[in-house]
Amino acid sequence: MKKIYSIALLALVFILSYPIASTAQDDLDQFLQESVEDGEKLIGGYVAPAIKAFSLGLNQGWYNTAKPHKVAGVDLTMSVSLMKVPSSEQLFDVNALGLTSVTLVNESGNPETDGNIPTILGPDTPPTFSPSATVNDGFVNQSDDFQGPGGLELGSDVKLLKNKMPAAMVQLGFGLPKGTDVKLRLVPKVDVGDGKFNMFGIGVMHDVKQYIPGIKNLPFDLSGFVGYTKMKLDVPFDGDQRGVFEASSTTIQGVISKKVAVLTFYGGLGYNIAKSKLAMLGSYDIDNDSNTPAIVDPVNLDFAASGFRTTVGMRLKLAVFTFHGDYTIQKYNALTVGFGISVR
C-alpha cells in the first residue's frame, strides 16, 4: 500500500526538489491499513500546507510592470518564488479530525491530550499512534504502537529557505492592439519519474487608464490583469490504479507602475482562487488480504487556498534585459525574483 506515498512523493519532490525519507512511506501505509477513512484524514492534514502553498505559487510572477507591450512587443520571463508557510501550519491537530480507528499517544503510551503533530513542512518529530481498539480505560498496549511521519524541516541548513515552498515559472508575453498583453505558460506533457506532467497558463493585461478621463495623460501606468494556471501530474500504478496531483489557480488584480529612468516601481492589489487535488484512483487491496474486498479510490483529497493579495516590487531594465523582485502579502506570503528579455 505504498502507492499513496508514491504519488505524494512525486508531487512534493516535483514541488520541493527535496528528498523524503523512505521510512515515512511505511508510516502513511499504516494509517490506511488501520482505517482508510482515518488514513485519508491524516494524510490530508499532513500534506495540506505544501499543496496549498504550491497552488498559490502558481499565481506568482505574472507581471513586473503595469505597462503593456506595444503591438508585436514580446518578452520571455523566468521567475522563482518562495512561499512562506506560517508556524501555525507547521503543525495540525489530529484531535480535530474525528478519528475513530487510531489514537495519538505520548511517550508513556497514554492517550495524548495535545493533538498537535507535524505537517510535512513542520519539525522532524514523528508522532506515535495506537490502534483505538487497544486503548482501554486509558491504558494502551504499546506493542501495537506505530509512528507517523515527521516533518521535513525545510531549510534547516539554509536560513533563507526555512519553512518556505519554492515555485518556478517561465512565460512568454506579447503585445496586442488597444493596450493589451497576453502571457502564456506552457509545458507539454513530459516524463517526471514514472508519471506525466503538463501545465498550461494564460494571462491577460489590459490598460484601463485609457478609459478614465482626467488621469489617462498622467505619468504612470494602470492596468487590469487576470491570470489562470493549471498543472497536472499523473502517475500510473498497476492495472487501473493511478495517482493524480492537480492544481489550478486564478488571480484577478489591478496593477499600477511608475517608471523612473531604468527602474520601474510596481504594485498589485487583487484576489487569488487556488484549488488542488491529491488522489489515488482505481481498485486497491489495502491490507493485502484476498478475502477483503478491494477499495475503490481510497484517497481523494481536495484543498483550497483563496484570499486577497497585495504585491509591491521593482524592476531594473538594461537594454532588453530585465531583473525584478517583489513581495506579496497573502495567505502564504511570497518573495519572487526573476529575469527576462523584453522587446518593445
The domain ranges of the chain are 3-343
CATH for 3-343 is: 2.40.128
What are residue 9's phi and psi, to 5 degrees?
-60, -50
| Predicted local distance difference test score (pLDDT) of residue 21 | 34
| Predicted local distance difference test score (pLDDT) of residue 154 | 67
Which residues, other chains included, contact 328 with Cβ-Cβ below 8 Å and sequence gap of 6+?
A: 60, 309, 310, 311, 334, 336
Q: For residues 47 and 81, is the Cβ–Cβ distance under 8 A?
A: no
Q: For residues 38 and 102, is the Cβ–Cβ distance under 8 A?
A: yes
Q: For residues 298 and 32, is the Cβ–Cβ distance under 8 A?
A: yes
| Predicted local distance difference test score (pLDDT) of residue 160 | 62
Burial of 308 (0-12, 13-18, 19+ CB in 10 A): exposed
Element (H, E) at 136: strand 135-136
Q: Pick from 235, 218, 221, 146: which is nearest to 179 by CA?
A: 221
| Predicted local distance difference test score (pLDDT) of residue 306 | 92
Tell me the Ramachandran region of residue 13: left when phi exceeds 0, alpha when psi lies from -120 to 50, beta otherwise. alpha
Which residues, other chains included, contact 168 with Cβ-Cβ below 8 Å and sequence gap of 6+?
A: 78, 79, 80, 81
Query: What do you get for the CA distance between the two ends of the chain, in Å?
Result: 55
Q: Pick from 163, 193, 139: which is nearest to 7 by CA?
A: 193
| Predicted local distance difference test score (pLDDT) of residue 247 | 92
Q: pLDDT (tens digit, 0 to 9) for every residue of the chain, 344 residues total? A: 344 444 444 455 444 433 333 334 445 556 666 678 888 888 888 888 888 988 999 999 999 999 999 999 999 999 999 988 888 888 999 888 888 888 888 777 677 778 888 888 888 888 888 876 665 555 555 567 777 788 877 666 656 666 777 888 899 999 999 999 999 998 888 877 777 888 999 999 999 999 998 888 899 999 999 999 999 888 887 788 888 889 999 999 999 999 999 999 999 999 999 999 988 888 877 666 666 677 788 788 899 999 999 999 999 999 999 999 999 999 999 999 999 999 98
Q: For residues 64 and 76, is the Cβ–Cβ distance under 8 A?
A: no
| Predicted local distance difference test score (pLDDT) of residue 286 | 67
| Predicted local distance difference test score (pLDDT) of residue 344 | 84
Pure H helices in 165-251: none
Burial of 88 (0-12, 13-18, 19+ CB in 10 A): exposed
Give me the helix-helix angle, 22-34 and 36-57, nearest 10°: 130
Q: Pick from 263, 262, 66, 326: which is nearest to 181 by CA?
A: 66
Would you state the cell numbers that stand for residue 232, as one nine-digit string? 497536472
